[in-house]
Amino acid sequence: MLTIRRSQDRGPSKIDWLDSRHSFSFGQYYDPSHMGFGPLRVINEDKVIAGAGFPTHGHADMEIISYVLEGALEHRDSIGTGSVIKPGDVQRMSACTGIRHSEFNHSKTDPVHFLQIWILPEANGIKPSYEQKAFDEGSKRGQLRLVGSRDARDGSLTIHQDVDLYAGLFDGEESAEFTLRPGRAAWIQVARGAVRVNGEDLEAGDGAAIVDTDTIRINGGKAAEILLFDLGR
């Protein structure tokens, strides 16, 4: 079964420097029917104007993943990490016992467009940590590339939860199939473009919850970039 969460139905949040859309309840946006999906708690699509960003603030007991689509995102945190995240990079920050960080648009002229993803950790009390890796376009072209997992296999980031995160790029005749093991669920987020998933047309900003399904078929892409979360239930 596939249940679609359309882009236009997400919760909006807009201030002078930030335009954000929330797939699940977040901040002042509250919808009891959309509180997350399994351990997946937040998917925010954020657009930040040049030179602006989120000042230093705290997090705890959360796995936070940043996935940049356009521009560059500058990160600083209380464990001494400083980095710039660009398209192709995936960043994971384990807040857990507590961490403070800031996120700013690295550019003084161009906006930054990214997804911020929160996943509930499998246990509290994990030591805060940071990880960032680049995944080239070829490894995602017409296929699903594992970019995050509990066991860091295949060069993926470590996620402290029973979650496998895949990224894929699909255009034209490119297609892929994904086998969902018994007892697991999936969430697909279309970051940009358009794609067909199990016969349903999805566009940028759309999400889809998939349960009680053996095979996920992805085709009909139009400059599509997607994330697939394979989740324990």
Tell me the domains of the chain and their CATH numbers.
Answer: 11-135 (2.60.120.10), 138-232 (2.60.120.10)
Q: How far apart are CA 209 and CA 55, in angstroms?
A: 33
**pLDDT value for 29:** 95
Phi, psi of 154 (to 5 degrees): 55, 30
SS3 15: coil
User: What is the pLDDT at residue 185?
Assistant: 98
- CA–chain centroid gap for 153, Å, is 19
This prediction's pTM: 0.94
Give CA separation, 126 vs 83, 121, 134, 228, in Å: 22, 9, 24, 25
3-class DSSP state for residue 229?
A: strand
Digit-by-digit pLDDT tens for the chain (233 residues) are 999 999 999 999 999 999 999 999 998 999 999 999 999 999 999 999 998 766 665 555 789 999 999 999 886 765 557 678 899 999 998 876 656 656 768 788 999 999 999 999 998 888 888 899 999 999 999 999 999 999 999 999 999 999 999 999 999 999 999 999 999 999 999 999 999 999 999 999 999 999 999 999 999 999 999 999 999 97
